[in-house]
Amino acid sequence: MALFFHMLAAIAEFEHNLIVEPTHDGLAAVCARGRKGGPKFKMRPKRSARLARYDAGEYTVQEIADTLGVCCRIHGIGLA
């Protein structure tokens, strides 16, 4: 019985390697082209300046959320 489970584990590891290898190759190719993975960074200078002015009290939470394109309730910011 132990041999059976050992064989299943070996097959599972082989299957895992079949999935992981092309993924790593793709990431290496993207890295070689000078690109990074993930979504584009959304904090542009205009947005970060608006957030800084929020600290000074010039903008409301809702105005900041509208600028960033997010719902303020999703990020745990209250509108009280």
Query: Above 50 in pLDDT, residue 79?
Result: no
Q: What is the mean pLDDT of residues 11-33?
A: 92
- The pTM of this model reads 0.40
Q: What is the model's pLDDT at position 52? A: 77
Q: What is the model's pLDDT at position 80? A: 42
Percent of the chain surpassing pLDDT 90: 28
Backbone φ, ψ for residue 27 (5° rounding):
-65, -35
Highest mean pLDDT: which of 26-30, 34-38, 52-56, 58-62?
A: 26-30
Query: Above 80 in pLDDT, residue 13?
Result: yes
